[in-house]
Amino acid sequence: MNNFWSKPNRFVVLGLSVVVAVSCVYLLSIFLDREGMIATVLLDMQNFPWSIQNALHILFFIGLGELFIRWRSSVLERAHLSKGYLPENIAGKDALLLQSHTLGDIRRKVFDKYDGENGVFPFLIDQCILQFRTTNSIAQAASIMNSNLELISHRLDLNYSMIRYIIWLIPTVGFIGTVVGISWTLNLVNPDDVDLKILTASLAVAFNTTLVALILSAILVFLLHIVQSQEEKIVNLAGHNCLTNLVNRLYKG
């Protein structure tokens, strides 16, 4: 359980998201008045449990699961910033400089902290030290840091591709449900005996799918911006820390 909390597995989170979504829908169907407006809007009790709204709820919880993975990743990355990999407050003017032969201890602290997905800060430290000890060039160390920051930022953006697709898919499914509902309503029209009560009720159910979809999508977009901005801020802090406390202190003497 601790391992799942620290580094959630995407497939496990996907399965749990579906289970939680189905459980929430089931509980709502029990506690809400089946004839009430809330149950009609959220669950479409006329077609329960195979309603478009229930499919939207499942997609919504899958999106929450993806955001949970990104949030936990940001928490892990922030923890690396506070582990003191780099000397930040060293007394003495000469102690502020870092020479090639003094970087071994720092690299031993960080070389195994990056697993290919998490550990941006130790990865930047390791790459800068490796480049400096190989070329004895401060400019090359700064260049490799900037290059890695660009790649990390690009990978960070790619990590949100699935949640962006889900945010697009939810209103799309809602619109499809509305179109299908309108088509079904038109099939109910009897030119010789038009029952406006039945037609308006059917149209209301059709438009409810779009209403629910837009609300769920808006919630996911809000959470997306919060989590992504947090991850981007951590990457920026890692780059700034690496530049201030490592690259700017390197000395070739």
> What is the per-residue pLDDT across 6-32, written as a single tens digit (0 to 9) for each?
778 889 999 999 999 999 999 988 888
The HSE-up count of residue 216 (CA atoms within 13 Å, CB side) is: 31
Say how far apart CA 31 and CA 230 lie, in whole Å: 37
Radius of gyration, CA atoms only, the chain: 27
Choose among 103, 96, 94, 95: nearest CA to 132: 103
Say how far apart CA 214 and CA 129 lie, in whole Å: 49
8 A C-beta contact, residue 178 and residue 210: yes
Give residue 199's pLDDT.
Answer: 62
Q: Which domain holds residue 155?
A: 1-90+99-253
Tally the domains of the chain.
1
Angle between helix 196-245 and helix 138-158 axes, rounded to 10 deg = 170
Between 65 and 43, residue with greater pLDDT: 65
**Bridge partners, 98 (sequence order):** 250
Give residue 92's pLDDT.
Answer: 47
The DSSP secondary-structure symbol of 7 reads S
